[in-house]
């Protein structure tokens, strides 16, 4: 009798856990087209993901009844739900619609200004020191804070040196944030900046001029893992922060809290003008 009860309890628990693994799709509210690479996750927790190229996602919401679920992407109004309420109305939330919003970068007026070009950030290309994505968990994001010399500063190109062989093509998202209390705060760009790293590639170089990004103070630059790949992780050149590299800040997945995770400085830098 006890064995039967145990088996029944195990089956019930398994079914309950499976019921809280939610699968859905995110679409544009105006066009009804699927939205790829939307951040979906529990706010402040390492439970999250990114929608795939068809706007689909899967997320385990078990044991998070008191938490909040957030969906967000550049160019759209974020959605936030209490998890308990979200699961109660799960059938009606298989398809979620994000409303597009128009965002404008701050206007910068410069008269008779002679621009000076400079490289900001960590320029190490070391192969002996490395840091980076040690797994391919969707939404895994990491980067460092870069100081500027004078405001306004115009960001022209992002550069990163790859320290290990890339075994499979990887898709990342490049993000720029303002900084508050030593951590990333608000996104600075108004468009997604996608980066594809191909097998055997030795560096990442992204032209930022089409995105018209100006900064008035130090900023945070990061790369975010947004698409599954066969290989595991990508490692970048790094050195100790005592050599001016700065510390690495990361979050494990979408909507998680940011943390300073290493005293090593990762080889992220930007070509800029001020």
Which is higher by pLDDT, 12 or 72?
A: 72
Strands (E), 2-116: 21-28, 39-42, 48-50, 56-60, 68-72, 79-82, 95-98
Check whether 15 has a pLDDT greater than 50.
no
Convert the pLDDT of each residue in 208-218 to its tens digit: 999 999 999 99
Q: What is this structure's pTM?
A: 0.89
Q: CB neighbours (10 Å) of residue 64?
A: 20
The residues pairing with 42 across neighbouring beta strands, listed in sequence order, are 69
Spans of all domains in the chain:
2-98, 117-273
The arrangement of secondary structure in 117-273, i.e. its CATH architecture, is Sandwich (2.60)
Average pLDDT over residues 160-169: 88
Q: Would you call 265 exposed, middle or buried from its count of C-beta atoms within 10 A (0-12, 13-18, 19+)?
A: buried
In percent, the amount of the chain with pLDDT more than 70 equals 86
Which two three-digit tokens encode residue 41? Answer: 């996750």
Q: Judge whether 215 and 189 are in contact, CB under 8 Å.
A: no
Average pLDDT over residues 8-32: 69
Convert the pLDDT of each residue in 172-185 to its tens digit: 999 999 999 999 99
Which two three-digit tokens encode residue 221? Answer: 């630059």
In percent, the amount of the chain with pLDDT more than 90 equals 73
pLDDT of residue 9: 36
Q: Judge whether 115 and 45 are in contact, CB under 8 Å.
A: no
How far apart CA 264 and CA 158 sit, in angstroms, is 19
Which is higher by pLDDT, 4 or 161?
A: 161
Which two three-digit tokens encode residue 249? Answer: 């800040």
pLDDT band at 232 (very low <50, low <70, confident <90, very high): low
pLDDT band at 231 (very low <50, low <70, confident <90, very high): low
Check whether 4 has a pLDDT greater than 50.
no
pLDDT band at 112 (very low <50, low <70, confident <90, very high): confident
pLDDT of residue 8: 37
pLDDT of residue 3: 47
CATH number corresponding to 2-98: 2.60.40.1120
pLDDT band at 60 (very low <50, low <70, confident <90, very high): very high
Return the sign of the alpha-carbon dihedral for residues 214, 255, 100, 195.
positive
pLDDT of residue 7: 39
Which is higher by pLDDT, 152 or 263?
A: 152
């Amino acid at each position: 009798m006890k064995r039967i009860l145990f088996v029944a309890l195990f089956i019930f628990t398994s079914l309950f856990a499976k019921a809280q693994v939610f699968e859905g799709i995110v679409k544009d509210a105006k066009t009804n087209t699927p939205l790829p690479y939307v951040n979906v996750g529990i706010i402040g927790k390492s439970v999250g993901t990114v929608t795939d190229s068809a706007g689909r996602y899967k997320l385990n919401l078990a044991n998070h009844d008191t938490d909040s679920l957030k969906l967000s992407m550049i160019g759209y109004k974020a959605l936030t739900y209490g998890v308990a309420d979200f699961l109660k109305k799960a059938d009606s939330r298989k398809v979620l619609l994000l409303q597009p919003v128009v965002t404008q970068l701050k206007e910068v007026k410069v008269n008779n200004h002679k621009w000076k070009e400079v490289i900001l950030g960590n320029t190490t290309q070391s192969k002996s020191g490395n840091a980076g994505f040690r797994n391919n968990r969707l939404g895994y994001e990491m980067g460092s804070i870069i100081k500027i010399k004078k405001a306004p500063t115009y960001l022209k190109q992002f550069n990163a040196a790859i320290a290990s062989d890339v075994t499979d093509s990887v898709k990342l998202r490049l993000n720029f944030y303002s900084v508050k209390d030593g951590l990333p705060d608000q996104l600075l760009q108004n468009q997604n900046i996608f980066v594809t790293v191909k097998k055997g590639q030795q560096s990442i170089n992204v032209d930022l001029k089409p995105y018209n990004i100006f900064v008035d103070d130090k900023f945070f630059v990061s790369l975010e893992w947004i698409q599954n790949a066969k290989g595991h992780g990508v490692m970048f050149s790094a050195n100790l922060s005592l050599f001016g590299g700065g510390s690495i800040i990361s979050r494990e997945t979408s909507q998680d809290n940011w943390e300073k995770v290493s005293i090593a400085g990762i080889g992220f830098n930007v070509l800029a003008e001020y």
